[in-house]
């Protein structure tokens, strides 16, 4: 994120990290069983969510997980390429036709969790049953808030780039409904901080 907590500009441009940080993220991905993002991140960035900057071995790529109630993931997007396996979590709102298009040719596995939006506790149980024990959430801000609110985040690692974007509509690290009073804010414990190139890395445990 930028110093003012933005993870994208108000037009959705989100290239923030320096080269060293991108390598750090890919190394971290490689240690994980899964990487998860919300559907708006897929639609905005068309990410690959692989470890291609540090390895060309397909086995180093963790499972990619998209939280996508209505199965809006476009079948031609890179998240469904054959570089790594992908799981799309949808709710009962997703149409059978869209689910079928995502499952076609083994592009993705689709699981249904929840009636309207994806039920994140149900999703974590399903992932646990599949042997996914470590999961890195990579945004965006709406899903970040829901995961924190559901008590499903153990640790937070942020990279603060020496940039300020501003913009009242620009997404921040955590948006969603937010809390009304500071006494209800999610509390963190500082574990580690260090500089990486021009960026600052901060690691917290969630209390």
Ligand X SMILES: NC(=O)c1ccc[n+]([C@@H]2O[C@H](COP(=O)([O-])OP(=O)(O)OC[C@H]3O[C@@H](n4cnc5c(N)ncnc54)[C@H](OP(=O)(O)O)[C@@H]3O)[C@@H](O)[C@H]2O)c1
* Contact positions vs ligand X (CB under 6 A): 7-8, 12, 14, 16, 37-41, 44-45, 67-70, 72, 117-118, 120, 138-143, 146, 171, 175
- Helix (H), strand (E), coil (C) string for 61-77: CCEEEEECCCCCCCCCC
**Of 37 and 127, which CB lies nearer to ligand X in the complex structure?**
37
The answer to whether the beta carbons of residues 172 and 6 sit under 8 Å apart is: yes
Specify the DSSP class assigned to residue 101: H
C-beta of 130: minimal distance to ligand X in Å? 19
Q: How far is the CB of 53 from ligand X (least distance, A)?
A: 15
Q: Which is nearer to ligand X, 61 or 141 (CB)?
A: 141
Q: How far is the CB of 37 from ligand X (least distance, A)?
A: 6
Return the SS3 of 14: coil
| Residues 24-53 as b or e (16 or more Cβ within 10 Å = b) | bbbebbeebbbbbbbbbbbebbebebbbee
Output 143 or 156, the one with its CB closest to ligand X.
Answer: 143
Nearer to ligand X, 62 or 140 (CB): 140
Give the separation between CA 110 and CA 89, rounded to whole angstroms: 6
- The minimum distance between CB 123 and ligand X, in angstroms, equals 8
Query: Which residue sits closest to ligand X, CB atoms considered?
Result: 140
């Amino acid at each position: 994120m930028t110093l003012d907590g933005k993870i994208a500009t108000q037009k959705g441009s989100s290239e923030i990290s320096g080269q060293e940080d991108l390598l750090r993220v890919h190394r971290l991905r490689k240690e994980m069983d899964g990487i998860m993002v919300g559907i708006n991140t897929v639609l905005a960035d068309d990410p690959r969510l692989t470890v291609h900057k540090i390895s060309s071995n397909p086995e180093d790529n963790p499972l990619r997980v998209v939280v996508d109630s209505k199965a809006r993931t476009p079948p031609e997007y890179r998240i469904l390429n054959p570089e790594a396996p992908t799981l799309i979590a949808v709710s009962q709102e997703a149409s059978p036709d869209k689910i079928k298009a995502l499952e076609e040719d083994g592009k993705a596995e689709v699981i249904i969790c929840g009636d309207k939006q994806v039920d994140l506790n149900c999703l974590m149980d399903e992932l646990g049953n599949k042997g996914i024990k470590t999961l890195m959430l990579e945004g965006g801000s709406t899903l970040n808030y829901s995961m924190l609110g559901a008590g499903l985040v153990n640790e937070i690692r942020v990279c603060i780039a020496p940039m300020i974007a501003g913009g009242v509509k620009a997404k921040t690290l955590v948006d969603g409904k937010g809390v009304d009073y500071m006494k209800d804010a999610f509390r963190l414990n500082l574990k580690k901080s260090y500089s990486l190139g021009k960026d600052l890395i901060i690691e917290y445990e969630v209390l």
